Structures are given as C-alpha cells and as structure tokens.
Amino acid sequence: MKIFLKTADDVEKLRRVNLIVSAVLDACEAACKPGVSTWDLNEIADRAMKAHDATSAFLDYHGYPAVLCTSVNEVVVHGIPRRDLVLKDGDIIGVDFGCFKEGFCGDSARTFAVGKISEEARKLMDATKQALEHAIAACVVGNRLQDIGWAVQSHVEPLGYSVVRSFVGHGIGRAMHEDPPVQNYGSPGKGLRLKPGMVFALEPMINIGTFEVEVLADGWTAVTKDRKLSAHFEHSVAITENGPFVLSRA
C-alpha cells in the first residue's frame, strides 16, 4: 500500500478543486425538481465544470459514460444519467461528482430530495449525512483508519440501517482513487495510524434494508438487493495538525 502524503501546497490545490466540485453539486441541487431528467443534471454539471476550466474525473474512467453519477432511490451508487429517467415527486437522488484542476482531483456526493419525500426517506438521508459528520470527526491525527468506519457503523446500525460493504471510500490526490481504501465499518483502534497530509474521500452508503448490493447489466448501476432505499454522502477531507479540513465543504 502506497499512501501519498500531501504538502500544504497540495492541500491548497485540493481545496480549490473541491470548491469547484461543491459549486457543481450546488448547481445540481438547484435543478433536482420533478420533471428533470438525470441526463439534464449531467449537462448542468458538465457546463458548470467547464465554466471552472476543470476536467471530469468520471468520464471515461474504466469506460464510465458521463461526468456525473445519478443514483435514484434503490440505486446505491454509479447510476448512469439517462434522458428517459425523469425525476418525480418523492424520489431521492444521490449525485456524485468529481473533477481535476491543477493536477489534483476533487470528489464529493450528496443525496437530494425531489419535491416532498416520505419520512422514511428523510430519516435515511439525515442518518447518512450525520454518519459522514461522525466519520469526518474521526479524521484526527493519532486515530486509526477503522475508527472512521466505526464512526459510521456505530451511528447507523442502532437506527436499524445497514452499511454497504462492497463499495468504500478512498485516498485521493493526483489520482481519484489512491490508497488506502476507507471502509464504512470496522473496529475502533484498528488499522493504520492517521497522519497529517493524508487526504481521504469519505463516502458512507447506507441502506434501509440489506447491505447487499448487485450491479445491473449496464456494468455500473449498483442497486440494493432488496430494492429498498439507499443514501450516499461524500466529502474529501484532509487530516491536519489542526483537525479535519473538509475540502469539499464551501
């Protein structure tokens, strides 16, 4: 495992690219209304990205065909934008975006409500968002890697939710995916010791029912096995002597 520690200058660049990611997600959020297709969202993201002179981290990544992942309801992650997938009142949609600028990659995701959603969906979204905050709070020098996963797991499992195992967070820097993998479950006090200069994309994926997922025939779209709802939030976070620096939060 090769972990690239970032310099202060690298972290500044990572901050700048992640602020672009945040602005692109803001544009997507404003557009997530009934009647809008997930392809429309991809175009909005593409335009906002280009306005910032950034390049996609997702397009052509292992053949991925869009700049955005749009994961509606039972889709956990990696939903491909489509002209014929039109958002409707009551949907939840995970929007995941990543791009490069100045040689560094930013990556963040949020789950949005479309119109008025059920209390069940709202609670899942809130728990997932809160789990990410707990994961961020665990990103302190001297903690261990699995303290992050434990922070997620120990928040959501008592609420009756399950943690997706088969997709994980990751180190991030000059490449979108660097070591180490960052699980959203684990045992407190285990794993490598967190050091200043490590930068992680933390991305809990939380399900109402089973943690098991399956990938559809398109080779990307990951859905819950029981087709119950899933939510996903992601931030890129730098570990510093002064605590976690949430690079993708404006």
Residues making contact with Co ion (CB under 5 A): 107, 201
Q: Is 147 in the site for ligand MF3 (CB under 6 A)?
A: no
Per-residue x/- mask for ligand MF3, residues 28 to 47, rule CB under 6 A?
--------------------
Q: Which of 32, 54, 69, 247 binds ligand MF3 (CB under 6 A)?
A: 69
Residue 78 near which of Co ion, ligand MF3, none (CB within 5-8 Å, type-dependent): ligand MF3
Q: Is 107 in the site for ligand MF3 (CB under 6 A)?
A: yes
- At 18, list the tokens: 């992640």
Residue 155 near which of Co ion, ligand MF3, none (CB within 5-8 Å, type-dependent): none
Q: From the CB of 102, what's the least distance to Co ion, in Å?
A: 19
Q: Is 74 in the site for ligand MF3 (CB under 6 A)?
A: no
Q: From the CB of 88, what's the least distance to Co ion, in Å?
A: 27
The angle that helices 38-51 and 8-31 make with each other, rounded to 10 degrees, is: 140
Residue 58 near which of ligand MF3, Co ion, none (CB within 5-8 Å, type-dependent): ligand MF3
- At 226, list the tokens: 């029981």
Nearer to ligand MF3, 48 or 201 (CB): 201
Instruction: State whether the Cα torsion 232-233-237-239 is positive or negative.
Output: negative
Q: Is 218 in the site for ligand MF3 (CB under 6 A)?
A: no
Q: Is 95 in the site for ligand MF3 (CB under 6 A)?
A: no
Q: How far, in Å, CA of 205 to CA of 199, rounded? A: 19
For residues 14 and 22, is the Cβ–Cβ distance under 8 A? no
Residue nearest to Co ion (CB): 201
Question: Which CA distances in Å does 29 have to 22, 33, 36, 38, 115?
Answer: 10, 9, 12, 12, 12
Spatial neighbors of 242 by CB under 8 A, at least 6 apart, are: none
Spatial neighbors of 8 by CB under 8 A, at least 6 apart, are: none
The DSSP line for 24-36 is HHHHHHHH--TT-
Q: From the CB of 171, what's the least distance to ligand MF3, in Å?
A: 10
Q: From the CB of 24, what's the least distance to ligand MF3, in Å?
A: 13
Going by C-alpha positions, the residue among 114, 127, 201 that lies closest to residue 163 is 127
Q: From the CB of 66, what's the least distance to ligand MF3, in Å?
A: 8
Q: From the CB of 212, what's the least distance to ligand MF3, in Å?
A: 19
